[in-house]
Chain A
Amino acid sequence: DSGVTQTPKHLITATGQRVTLRCSPRSGDLSVYWYQQSLDQGLQFLIQYYNGEERAKGNILERFSAQQFPDLHSELNLSSLELGDSALYFCASSKISGTSGRSGRTGELFFGEGSRLTVL
């Protein structure tokens, strides 16, 4: 058990709809990361928050948005869903910001078990 909690585990919805995925990081971790995993693309970095502020953006579509709340949990909002959005969405957490120097385990992320989204 990584200590990172994601809900829901499974979600089935229709094209054009909007869903919200939730993540609770490990106790004490300030950084939350969202990744998308599909069969053909592998794990793709979407976005990172650190202590409530957006820190980095990856391949995140404009239809997707995220936020991190004062209690450090995070939500990923996916709107105007398309068939191609079907994937596993992982949340990960770490203590550090991810953009610091080589000190510490900058790449040691703790992943949740993911939310499987199916868009029909």
Chain B
Amino acid sequence: AIRMTQSPSSFSASTGDRVTITCRASQGISSYLAWYQQKPGKAPKLLIYAASTLQSGVPSRFSGSGSGTDFTLTISCLQSEDFATYYCQQYYSYPGFGQGTKVEIK
């Protein structure tokens, strides 16, 4: 199984900050990576797929990059509605998720 490791597990940030979340795969997965946002009590929401393609309707402040084993999700200017938990997911083999990164209000 491909193991996905996100860092950090959680952090605090302020509205307007630029934040970056990292996801590392235990083996190369090309660009077969998606990012999701999950708010408490809600289902995850697809933000990015193919490592860097923005899902329709997702604000352009979200961006993704990387290929192979190392990937990043960047939020260019954090908004109040962005405080949530973020998950990466690889689809190089059967689907596997990272453990999540919680973005909290500072």
Bind each other: no
